[in-house]
Amino acid sequence: MSNSILSAQAVSANGLHSNGVASVTPLPVGLGARTAVVMERKVAHDTTRRSEAPMFLDTAHTVLPIEFQGKEVMFEAHAYEDDSVSYQAMALVHKREGAKLEAPLVRVHSGCVTGDIFHSLRCDCYQQLQKALEKVVESSHGIIIYLPHHEGRGIGLVNKMKAYAAQDRGLDTVDANLSIGAPVDARDYELAVKILKDLGSTEVRLMTNNPMKVDALRDLGITVVEQVPHVVQASRFNQRYLATKRERMAHKL
Ligand SMILES: [Zn+2]
Q: Please tell me whether residues 100 and 48 are part of one structural domain.
A: no
pLDDT at 33 exceeding the cut of 50? no
Mean pLDDT of 57-82: 96
Q: Please tell me whether residues 34 and 76 are part of one structural domain.
A: no
Q: Please tell me whether residues 32 and 129 are part of one structural domain.
A: no
Which of 34, 52, 70 is a domain's end point? Answer: 52
Residue 92: inside a domain: yes
Distance between CA 192 and CA 217 in Å, rounded?
8
What would the pLDDT profile of 199-224 be if each residue is shown by its tens digit?
999 999 999 999 999 999 999 999 99
Q: How far is the CA of 185 from the centre of ligand 1 (A)?
A: 13
Q: Please tell me whether residues 66 and 99 are part of one structural domain.
A: yes
Q: Please tell me whether residues 46 and 142 are part of one structural domain.
A: no
Q: How far is the CA of 184 from the centre of ligand 1 (A)?
A: 14
Residue 216: inside a domain: yes
Q: Please tell me whether residues 119 and 229 are part of one structural domain.
A: yes
Q: How far is the CA of 95 from the centre of ligand 1 (A)?
A: 27
Catalogue the active-site residues.
Answer: 185, 187
**Residue 147: HSE in the Cβ half-sphere, 13 Å Cα cutoff:** 25
Domain membership of residue 153 as a residue range: 58-248
Q: Please tell me whether residues 162 and 228 are part of one structural domain.
A: yes
Residue 173: inside a domain: yes
What would the pLDDT profile of 107-162 be if each residue is shown by its tens digit?
999 999 999 999 999 999 999 999 999 999 999 999 999 999 999 999 999 999 99
Number of domains in the chain: 2
Q: Please tell me whether residues 206 and 227 are part of one structural domain.
A: yes
Which of 13, 35, 52 is a domain's end point? Answer: 52
State how far Cα 29 lies from the chain centre.
Answer: 36
Q: Please tell me whether residues 63 and 36 are part of one structural domain.
A: no
Residue 208: inside a domain: yes
**Residue 124: HSE in the Cβ half-sphere, 13 Å Cα cutoff:** 22
Q: How far is the CA of 126 from the centre of ligand 1 (A)?
A: 7
Q: How far is the CA of 115 from the centre of ligand 1 (A)?
A: 4
Residues of the chain above pLDDT 90, percent: 66
Q: How far is the CA of 78 from the centre of ligand 1 (A)?
A: 23
Q: Please tell me whether residues 11 and 77 are part of one structural domain.
A: no
CATH number for the domain including 168?
3.40.50.10990
For residue 79, give the 3-state DSSP assignment: strand
Distance between CA 131 and CA 133 in Å, rounded?
5
Of 247 and 16, the structure prediction assigns the larger pLDDT to 247
Query: pTM score, two decimals?
Result: 0.77
Name the DSSP letter for residue 70.
T
Residue 253: inside a domain: no
Q: Please tell me whether residues 70 and 166 are part of one structural domain.
A: yes
Q: Please tell me whether residues 72 and 44 are part of one structural domain.
A: no
Predicted pLDDT of residue 40:
36
Residue 213: inside a domain: yes
- What is the full DSSP assignment across 28-61? PTT--HHHHHHHHHHHHHHHHHHHH--SSSEEEE
Residue 203: inside a domain: yes
Q: How far is the CA of 207 from the centre of ligand 1 (A)?
A: 16
Which of 37, 52, 67 is a domain's end point? Answer: 52
Predicted pLDDT of residue 85:
86
